Amino acid sequence: MEESGLGSNEVDRLFAMVAERYGARLTPAQLEDVRKGIEAVVTGARALRAVKLANSDEPMQPFVPFRAD
């Protein structure tokens, strides 16, 4: 992964958050794999963020108001 500037900081910060939550139950090797997973997450997120959408581009959620009767 290309790591520089904001991307690297983002990986570090997200990794710190995940390590704080789960680090106590993981070995150093597992933690290193988790870090690689977070690098992949950030790579994907940056690809998604790079696509411009219009304000009107909404998700395809099938949410409908509910009433029981």
Positions that interact with another protein (CB under 8 A): 14-15, 17-18, 21-22, 25-26, 30, 33-38, 40-45, 47-51, 53, 57-62
**Which whole-number Å values give the CA distances from 13 to 7, 34, 60, 61, in the listed order?**
10, 13, 31, 31
Shortest spacing between CB 28 and another protein, in angstroms: 12
**Which residue number, 4 or 57, has a Cβ lying nearer to another protein?**
57
**Which residue number, 3 or 36, has a Cβ lying nearer to another protein?**
36
